Structure 1
Amino acid sequence: MAGKGKYRIDGDRGKLVLGRFELPFPRSRSGRIITGSLLIGGGFLGFLPVLGFWMVPLGLLVLSHDLPSVRRKRRRVAIWWRKRYPQVNRAGRG
């Protein structure tokens, strides 16, 4: 399991946990990299009706499971966010 927060990757069960929602998650490294890349690519086409810009952060979250450089940047942004907005709890509740 990669973390105990509300937004995490449960590698044991093969699920991406987003609050109370759980999405299936590829168990193979190449499957996760392809899925994350496709989510980011689809996010850049977010102006289209079916796709959305929400896909970019989700793709980065998936990629951060396997790519150390993305994981470091995600962690750096998380630390910056907590320093910048210490009054905001998880999921934006203040």
Structure 2
Amino acid sequence: MRFGSKTLRLPRSATARIAVGAGLVCGGILGFLPILGFWMIPLGLLVLSQDLPSVRRWRRSMIVRMERRNGAPDRRRQGKNNRREAEKDRPEP
């Protein structure tokens, strides 16, 4: 899993990844205790999204929502605009 320039290695076994993700979420719920923190919940959900389709759909919808809110260009529309510009550059027959 990559976070910008940082890489986090996950276990190869799906069972181990689910256990790590569930442990992080459970530890995050106890975030009011020392050492544990609420930061563990989103990290655990990211790990779980590798293997659980329901969490993966939630993660993708969150990414789409964040991209729309931050004004990231829509890749599908960008392709259409490039075709329109290419049509304008073509000479008339």
State if a TM-score over 0.5 links the two structures. Answer: yes
Tell me which stretches of 4 or more aligned residues in structure 1 moved more than 6 Å.
Answer: none
- State the Cα distance separating 1:84 from its structure 2 match: 1.4
Q: Match of 2:10? A: 25
- Specify every segment of 5 or more residues in structure 2 that has no aligned partner in the other structure, as ranges: 73-93
* Aligned equivalents of 2:8, 2:66: Cα separation in 1: 25
CA-based RMSD of the aligned residues comes to 1.4
Q: Match of 2:19? A: 34
Q: Match of 1:80? A: 65
- Specify every segment of 5 or more residues in structure 1 that has no aligned partner in the other structure, as ranges: 1-8, 10-16, 88-94
- State the Cα distance separating 1:58 from its structure 2 match: 0.5
Pairwise mapping of residues 1-94 of structure 1 onto structure 2 (< 5 A)?
9=1, 17-86=2-71
* Aligned equivalents of 1:86, 1:69: Cα separation in 2: 26
Q: Match of 1:13? A: none
1:53-78: CA deviations, max 9, x gaps?
Answer: 11001000000000111101100011
- State the Cα distance separating 1:23 from its structure 2 match: 3.2
SS of corresponding position for 1:26: coil
- State the Cα distance separating 1:49 from its structure 2 match: 1.2
The number of aligned residues is: 72
The normalised TM-score by structure 1 is: 0.69
- State the Cα distance separating 1:85 from its structure 2 match: 2.1
Greater share of helix: 2
* Aligned equivalents of 1:53, 1:18: Cα separation in 2: 18
Larger radius of gyration: 2
